[in-house]
Amino acid sequence: MTATTTSPAAVGEVPSFDVTLRIRRYDPDAATPEAFWEEFTVSAHGTDRVLDAMHKVKWDLDGSLTFRRSCAHGICGSDAMRINGRNRLACKTLLKDLDPSKPITIEPIKGLPVVKDLVVDMEPFFASYREVMPFLIAGKNAPTKERLQSAEERARFDDTTKCILCAACTTSCPVFWTDGQYFGPAAIVNAHRFIFDSRDEGAAQRLEILNDKEGVWRCRTTFNCTDACPRGIEVTKAIAEVKKAMITRAF
Amino acid sequence: MQIHQYDVVIVGAGGAGMRAALESSQRTRTAVISKLYPTRSHTGAAQGGMCAALANVEEDNWEWHTFDTVKGGDYLVDQDAAEIMAKEAIDAVLDLEKMGLPFNRTPEGKIDQRRFGGHTRNHGEAAVRRACYAADRTGHMILQTLYQQCVKNDVQFFNEYYVLDLLLDTDLTAAKKPRKGAPVRCSGVVAYDLATGEIHVFHAKSVVLATGGSGKIFKTTSNAHTLTGDGMALALRRGIPLEDMEFFQFHPTGLAGLGILLSEAARGEGGILRNGEGERFMERYAPTIKDLAPRDIVARSMANEVREGRGAGPHKDYVLLDLTHLEPEHIEAKLPDITEFARTYLGIEPFTEPVPVYPTAHYAMGGVPTTISTEVLRSNTDVVQGLFAAGEVACVSVHGSNRLGTNSLLDINVFGRRAGIAAAEYATGADWVEMPQDAAAYVVDELERIRTAPAGEKVGDLRKALQETMDANAQVFRTAESLQRALDVIDDLRARYQSISVQDKGRSFNTDLLEAVELGFLLDLARVVVVGALAREESRGGHFREDFPTRDDEGFMHHTMAYAVATKDGDTAIRLDKKPVTVTRYQPMERKY
């Protein structure tokens, strides 16, 4: 097997290579549902992503392999999974970056109930998100035209507006694994996005919610979330800023 | 089987669906049914901006925006609709700001605006800064903001439910059509819960289709895997016509070989297209606005460069998007996502290397025909009562034969809002329409047939064949021969689809089964695209016929209305009709940039 990286000049002329996917399977409709590992080998090209290889399995070998996906370029947040032990988006992880000479392990993200194969129940995740009041809370006296906001004020919360709610961060968090009640990084990121928005007036309420015993203080600063974020959000830093705002009430 | 009853049911939770839901849910009992979690919708992939003549950074007005939209659409735009869109654009942007959308700002703190293809000052004099934006993730911020507002307003969602049938009180596929003016009413939809495999019938006074586009009929596309034209196909199968389906937009700058979108904002911010010889070739095709010509012109120019041997790369099969002359800080601030796409997917550093690009199937200008109030038309003049459509699934028509960049984010906000209001108002005054006795029978039978079919044709094989023939024969350049080739393949695939089978026989989360259903939609829609393209023997906007390379206003200054008509053998045929274009202020002129 030869794994070959392509130079940009060679787009359209990419040698193929074989790659083995070792996938965690679970079929709730089986007579005795039980999780197990299954390996598939498919041929791939230089620019193929993990998602492409999974599609090859699904479309050519085993149609029952089940996973979520939609946009296929890292924007919709559907296909977060645990790839070689790390949370990533399957559509944003190139096979050639993973050492395709060894089997690539693919498991569902951890800490949420597995529904089927790589599909987990996202409801607990979205429930935490909804609890932090993830929407602008502003006074009734809005101006006729837009509210003014300086470029600096806008930049203050830019990083956390990038969140695509894929759950890669929350399901990489050891605290969340052991305590599913913890709000988790994604919910805090989305609270941060409003707490530091100069147009918002709901910071005090959100900080009160996150001051809960399952709130920001559960964070142990392991940085797993920052490593996992496919959008490059400095998640741990955002959580630290929320903690600081809670103490100083400055936001 | 479960039965639900709502005044308004909205199908789809992208920008149009959620904008509609925000209006409708405040007025009447509303449910949103979506095959994805709302934040997965493809509105989130839109990048560059949303145009509105705010005139925050330079002189502008909605009349210029209307003109650009009409001219951009090569005069197939219904001008009354374009005027509404350009006028309401201003409030649509301000509404989003009030909902919290984090627009980029000017030094004075106002919403910043930038240039975009085909948007000009004073009827084509020069490019104008009209696109309001949030870096290069404007669609993401619109989708997130609308979802946030839905959370705030406690909108009820049925997530990962696939709507698979539309319930009407009259069979419109029958040879005998209801007479002109006869009431035809919608009574709800049939949906499939992906998690459990259970059927849910939604009895509704109003249904809003907001299911998005159908880009997956092509192989190289910027569209999500889930963009399979569900709403369009459901309407077609129930005898509702589809309008202008032959007009499909190919976005100039897809990442070569992958189709992933690189926003036109890259050119709005100063990016330049170059051929393999390093030449800025758009100067030859559009001397005035060059790289910021409308997408159909740029895409065709790129394909022509490649065809005439001036492509870049080892096979000379793409051109280059050059950002290297721009300040890295400027690129990083204005185009962070798309530069990351180039790095991630092609290993290209856009600060120092030009990016390989080629046209990618991007947007269906056509769709379910509607009035300017978003009511769905069943003929040129009659509406289906209680049925509405907005966004890419619909054809108002504000995009004519070629949509201008940013006008889709505008469309979903303006007409999504209108649909929500219209659906709620209709539901408030209307009586319940009785559903057919066996409302779910068709869907149940069809799903069981596919799920239990013995080993037969595979979804992946048929879909691949469809997408390859569409790319080869119905893309930027078309001829009667190429289109006939595509049609022959499609006819063959439709026949083979009768013996489609799936490997997953389970009830829970059976995506294998749903991909088979979606393939059926794609086949039906591709046929309409190709049949329409064959009949339109002229070149206009996104539809270019090499055998008829000029626009022919005498013969073809009309919308195409395509109907699926039942045939004796139990299949359907596509019957084409014409619908006049609404012209108010602007008489067709030669389209030069």
Asked whether residue A11 carries a pLDDT value surpassing 80, the answer given is no
Q: Is the dihedral of CA B22, B26, B28, B32 positive or negative?
A: positive
Q: What's the average pLDDT block by block, 10 residues per block, for chain B (593 residues)?
A: 97 98 98 98 96 98 98 98 98 98 97 96 96 97 98 98 97 90 97 98 98 98 98 98 98 96 94 97 96 96 97 96 95 92 95 97 98 98 98 98 97 98 98 95 96 95 98 97 98 98 97 98 98 98 98 98 93 96 96 90
Omega within 30 of 0 (cis) for the link into B397: yes
Residue A7 pLDDT: 43
ipTM: 0.96
Task: Select the residue of B224, B340, B347 nearest A70 (Cβ to Cβ).
Answer: B224
Partners of residue B314 in chain A, C-beta under 8 Å: 9-10, 12-13
Partners of residue B226 in chain A, C-beta under 8 Å: 70
* Strand-pair category, B375-377 with B383-389: antiparallel
Residue with tokens 């000052």: B121
Task: Select the residue of A145, A151, A153 nearest B94 (Cβ to Cβ).
Answer: A145
Task: Select the residue of A12, A63, A145 nearest B502 (Cβ to Cβ).
Answer: A63
Partners of residue A29 in chain B, C-beta under 8 Å: 506-508
Exposed e or buried b per residue across A222-232, where buried means at least 16 C-beta atoms within 10 angstroms of its C-beta:
eebbbebbbbe
* Strand-pair category, B2-11 with B199-209: parallel
Contact A12/B226, CB-based, under 8 Å? no
Distance CA B245, CA B62 (A): 28
Cβ atoms of B391 and B413 closer than 8 Å:
no
Closest C-alpha to B430, from B156, B179, B185, B165? B185
Q: Classify B122 as helix, strand or coil.
A: coil
Whole-angstrom CA distances from B505 to A29, A66, B442, B447, B508 are: 9, 12, 19, 11, 9
Element holding B207 (H helix, E strand)? strand B199-209
Closest C-alpha to B308, from B267, B277, B272, B264? B277
Residue with tokens 């949030």: B134
Q: How many residue pairs bridge chain A and chain B with CB atoms within 8 Å of each other?
A: 184
Nearest chain A alpha carbon to B504:
A64
Burial class (CB in 10 A: 0-12, 13-18, 19+), B543: buried
Residue B135 pLDDT: 94
Backbone φ and ψ for B100, nearest 5 degrees, come out as 115, 5
Q: Classify B552 as helix, strand or coil.
A: coil
Distance CA B344, CA A90 (A): 13
Distance CA B314, CA B71 (A): 37
| pLDDT tier at A141, thresholds 50, 70, 90 | confident
Contact A11/B256, CB-based, under 8 Å? yes
Residue A5 pLDDT: 40
Alpha helices in B246-378 (DSSP H): 265-268, 282-285, 295-307, 328-334, 336-346
Task: Select the residue of B44, B100, B504 nearest A64 (Cβ to Cβ).
Answer: B504
Partners of residue B261 in chain A, C-beta under 8 Å: 73
Contact A12/B257, CB-based, under 8 Å? yes
Residue A14 pLDDT: 57
Contact A70/B40, CB-based, under 8 Å? yes
Partners of residue A78 in chain B, C-beta under 8 Å: 36-37, 40
Contact B509/A116, CB-based, under 8 Å? yes
Residue A3 pLDDT: 41
Distance CA B481, CA B483 (A): 5
Which residues make Cβ contacts (< 8 Å) with residue B513, sequence separation at least 6?
A: B447, B450, B451, B502, B504
**Chain A: nearest CA to B543, how far in angstroms?**
26
Q: Domains along chain A?
A: 15-120 (3.10.20.30), 123-248 (1.10.1060.10)
| pLDDT tier at A47, thresholds 50, 70, 90 | confident
Following DSSP, what letter does each residue of A199-231 receive, concatenated? T---HHHHHHHHTSTTSGGG-----HHHHH-TT
**Chain B: nearest CA to A147, how far in angstroms?**
7
Cα–chain center distance at B7:
27
Residue A2 pLDDT: 40
Distance CA B189, CA B6 (A): 11
Q: What type of residue is A162?
A: K
Contact B507/A122, CB-based, under 8 Å? no
End-to-end CA distance of chain B: 57
Residue B176 pLDDT: 85
Nearest chain B alpha carbon to A146:
B94
Asked whether residue A140 carries a pLDDT value surpassing 90, the answer given is no
Alpha helices in B318-406 (DSSP H): 328-334, 336-346
The torsion of the CA quartet B476, B477, B480, B482, rounded to 10 degrees, works out to -80
Partners of residue A74 in chain B, C-beta under 8 Å: 341, 344
Distance CA B323, CA B344 (A): 17
Q: Classify B433 as helix, strand or coil.
A: coil
The set of catalytic residues of B is: 295
Q: Classify B321 as helix, strand or coil.
A: strand
The torsion of the CA quartet B475, A12, A48, B513, rounded to 10 degrees, works out to 30
Average confidence (pLDDT) over A205-216: 94
Contact A12/B225, CB-based, under 8 Å? no
Cβ atoms of B293 and B282 closer than 8 Å:
yes
Distance CA B367, CA B578 (A): 14
Closest C-alpha to B476, from B305, B337, B336? B305
**Chain B: nearest CA to A206, how far in angstroms?**
14
Beta bridge partner(s), residue A116 = A119
Cα–chain center distance at A87:
7
Closest C-alpha to B524, from B214, B168, B209? B214
Task: Select the residue of B344, B460, B509 nearest A60 (Cβ to Cβ).
Answer: B460
